[in-house]
Amino acid sequence: MVTYIKPQKPTKMEKEYFCPSCSGYLKITDCIILLGKNQKKEHGFIILHPEVGNYTSRRHPSFKLEPYEAIELFCPLCHASLASDFDDNLSHLILQEKGKNFDIYFSKILGEESTYLVNGGKVTATGQHSDRYTYFKMSDKFKQYLKK
């Protein structure tokens, strides 16, 4: 039996990452823990660095990934897909910092460095490949047509 613990507000300086579906904690100490599935349908844990713009990741050596492979990411608690609702190459998490929630989108392509921190209408793009996703540069008038 799995028991879900509802997130509480973190301390002022603490950053927390949550699943958009179940609101479960995804960060343990200095790691964001996700489930991944490669193109061969093999599964494994993927550990991401919690600092926005730090693209360090870890996984077990038996979980093979190819450069520029699209990796499907899932919540390790509820197994919901973390795919964004408007681009097949982006994943979505919730970042809570200083009591505020932000949408964070990042590339699920291995080796592609693109992260977007969304706070209402303001978007902060990070990563050398962040210019590849023009969705964040569009006006709201056009964005509505792209949502799945």
> Residue 146: CB partners within 8 Å, gap ≥ 6?
86, 87, 135, 138
pLDDT digits (tens, 9 = 90+) for 82-131: 999 888 899 999 999 988 999 999 999 999 999 999 888 788 888 898 88
53 in a structural domain = yes
Sheet containing strand 15-18, strands side by side = 15-18, 90-97, 100-107, 115-119, 122-126
Residue 91 lies in a domain: yes
How many domains are contained in the chain? 1
Amino acid at 117: L
pLDDT, average across residues 46-57: 94
Domain range spanning residue 93? 15-143
User: What digits encode the pLDDT tens for the residues 21-35?
Assistant: 999 999 998 999 999
Report the Cα 114 to chain-centroid distance in Å. Answer: 11
Instruction: Answer whether residue 10 is part of any domain.
Output: no
